[in-house]
């Protein structure tokens, strides 16, 4: 670990490190996968999956991403106010009231499935002089956002009659592509989208962009790439799921091809020890007395807890890495602190750096491992790291292989 860097942030008690090196490597992998003729859209919603919206957006664009994708109008506005001029696609709900704010900025396109929003967008765009491109969402089986093809065609007709907005494309979202290695349903969804595309073109609508590919689809199936891909979790160096990883191994091994992307985790999360203390045999640690020392112990206190995003489900279960060694969590995770066992670890003192997520020496805590302990997915692990945790852009060495550290691989 970079001791000079840690001295430079001596005022921080806990922080996240965002690897510019990893971002560049992941974007390069994704660009090779889709080619130069496909728009590479990177999803930076939810504070860039907890990695930091503005710095990550800037780094993704420097690395060669074409578009940025957000979920909410306020995220798009934050990007524009930060001076980011790249095309932005708002893939979530935009209300009729919010399109007036978006219309103040050029180059922001929206997902559309509501005629009232279309009318409001046209009115707002006419006031500002901008044109708002829209992507009509097609219902193919997720039953979340979107319209069946007949309704989508009616909305497209309305869009064609309104000044200030233009039909740029259609889109859909896969329901379970990450949750299984049996992708028959996802293939059915792709077929429905292609049928909708054909219906639009037969009705005389020009469709510059048809889009459906998330991270898993981008990695697995080039037939989903079309004109644009929407890559989220993979851009941050995390596999969408162990099923996706298994399917990649199966698919490309069967074909004798070599595309197994060496995804590089972008985020590390660290904290400084704020106290080291002795616990006698029989002593309790933390709320509820859920942990009792079976022998004389030495524990370290870390200054963050479930408010900062270190989940309470990790109580008496997880571990951090200190001086290259595992330090198990003792007792319940508190709102703003938690305790770990450092009895077996030499040279632990106030200020010693602990790794909550990431690598230290030969040891690593992955988002997948944390997710396994928590009973959730790696998305939630990183996305819920609180914005109060500073994000620092750093240069790092690349990891040698891409295999996700899954619960089954922990000894």
pLDDT in tens, 88-121: 999 999 999 999 999 999 999 999 999 999 999 9
pLDDT category of residue 403 using cuts at 50, 70 and 90: low
45 an active-site residue? yes
Alpha helices (runs of H) in 9-148, residue ranges in sequence order: 20-34, 45-49, 53-63, 73-81, 99-102, 115-128
Rounded Cα distance between 193 and 212, Å, is 8
Residues 354-373: pLDDT tens digits?
Answer: 999 999 999 999 999 999 99
Please provide residue 154's backbone torsions phi and psi, each rounded to the nearest 5 degrees. -65, -40
pLDDT category of residue 411 using cuts at 50, 70 and 90: very low
* Predicted local distance difference test score (pLDDT) of residue 347: 97
Average pLDDT over residues 338-360: 98
The packing angle between helices 53-63 and 73-81, to 10°, is: 70
Average pLDDT over residues 151-174: 97
Rounded Cα distance between 313 and 373, Å, is 7
pLDDT category of residue 78 using cuts at 50, 70 and 90: very high
Do 381 and 16 form a contact (C-beta atoms < 8 A)? no
Average pLDDT over residues 265-282: 98
pLDDT category of residue 9 using cuts at 50, 70 and 90: very high
* Predicted local distance difference test score (pLDDT) of residue 406: 44
**Is 317 exposed, middle or buried, given 0-12, 13-18 or 19+ CB atoms closer than 10 A?**
middle
* Predicted local distance difference test score (pLDDT) of residue 405: 46
- Pick the catalytic residue: 62, 157, 277, 287? 287
Check whether 256 has a pLDDT greater than 60: no
* Predicted local distance difference test score (pLDDT) of residue 254: 60
Task: Check the annotation: does 144 bind a ligand.
Answer: yes
Q: Look at residues 370, 325, 392 and name the one whose alpha carbon lies nearest to residue 352.
A: 325
Check whether 144 has a pLDDT greater than 80: yes
* Predicted local distance difference test score (pLDDT) of residue 3: 83
Domain regions of the chain by residue span: 20-255, 267-409
* Predicted local distance difference test score (pLDDT) of residue 402: 52
pLDDT category of residue 257 using cuts at 50, 70 and 90: low
Do 152 and 192 form a contact (C-beta atoms < 8 A)? no
H-run or E-run covering 151 = helix 149-161
* Predicted local distance difference test score (pLDDT) of residue 1: 72
236 an active-site residue? no
Task: Give me 136's structure tokens.
Answer: 């009509």
Instruction: Report the percentage of the chain scoring pLDDT > 70.
Output: 96
Query: DSSP string spanning 303-372?
Result: S--TTTT--GGGTTT-EEEETTEEEEEES---SS-EEEE-TT-TT--TT-EEEEEEEETTEEE-HHHHHH
Which overall architecture, per CATH, does domain 267-409 show?
A: Beta Barrel (2.40)
The overall average pLDDT reported for the chain is 94
* Predicted local distance difference test score (pLDDT) of residue 255: 58
Check whether 310 has a pLDDT greater than 50: yes
Residues 390-400: pLDDT tens digits?
Answer: 999 999 888 77
- Pick the catalytic residue: 6, 20, 45, 105? 45
Topology of 20-255 in CATH? TIM Barrel (3.20.20)
Q: Which residues contact 178 (CB under 8 A, 6 or more apart)?
A: 214, 215, 216, 240, 241, 243, 244
Residue 128: CA count within 13 A, CB half-sphere? 20
Task: Check the annotation: does 78 bind a ligand.
Answer: no
Residues 179-190: pLDDT tens digits?
Answer: 888 899 999 999
């Amino acid at each position: 670990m970079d001791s000079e860097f840690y001295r430079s942030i001596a005022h921080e008690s806990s922080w996240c490190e965002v690897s510019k090196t990893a971002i560049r490597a992941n974007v390069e992998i994704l660009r090779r996968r889709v080619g130069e003729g496909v728009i590479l859209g990177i999803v930076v919603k939810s504070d860039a999956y907890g990695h930091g919206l503005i710095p990550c957006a800037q780094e993704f664009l420097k690395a060669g991403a074409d578009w940025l994708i957000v979920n909410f109008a306020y995220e798009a506005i934050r990007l524009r106010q930060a001076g980011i001029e790249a095309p932005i696609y708002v893939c979530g709900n935009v209300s009729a009231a919010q399109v007036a704010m978006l219309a103040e900025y050029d180059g922001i396109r929206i997902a559309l499935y509501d005629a009232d929003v279309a009318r409001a967008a046209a009115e707002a765009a006419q006031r500002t002089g901008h044109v708002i491109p829209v992507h009509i969402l097609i219902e193919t089986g997720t039953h979340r956002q979107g319209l069946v093809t007949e309704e989508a065609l009616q909305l497209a007709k309305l869009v064609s009659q309104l000044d200030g907005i233009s039909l740029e494309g259609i889109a859909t979202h896969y329901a379970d592509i990450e949750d299984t290695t049996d992708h028959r349903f996802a293939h059915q969804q792709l077929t429905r989208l292609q049928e909708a595309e054909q219906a639009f073109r037969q009705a005389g609508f020009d469709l510059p962009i048809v889009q459906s590919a998330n991270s898993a689809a981008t990695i697995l199936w080039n037939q989903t790439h079309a004109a644009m891909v929407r890559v989220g979790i993979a851009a941050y160096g995390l596999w969408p799921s162990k099923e996706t990883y298994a399917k990649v191994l199966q698919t490309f091994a069967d074909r004798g091809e070599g595309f197994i992307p060496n995804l590089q985790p972008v985020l590390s999360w660290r904290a400084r020890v704020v106290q080291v203390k002795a616990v006698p045999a029989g002593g309790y640690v933390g709320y509820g007395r859920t942990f009792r020392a079976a022998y004389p112990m030495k524990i370290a206190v870390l200054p963050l807890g479930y408010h900062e995003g270190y989940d309470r489900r990790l109580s008496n279960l997880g571990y951090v890495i200190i001086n290259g060694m595992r330090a198990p969590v003792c007792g319940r995770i508190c709102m703003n602190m938690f305790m770990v066992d450092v009895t077996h670890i030499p040279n632990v003192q106030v200020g010693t750096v602990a790794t909550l997520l990431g690598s230290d020496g030969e040891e690593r805590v992955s988002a997948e491992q944390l997710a396994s302990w928590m009973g959730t997915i790696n998305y939630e692990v990183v996305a819920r790291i609180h914005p109060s945790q500073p994000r620092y852009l750093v240069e790092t060495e690349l990891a040698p292989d891409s295999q996700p550290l899954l619960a089954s691989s922990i000894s």
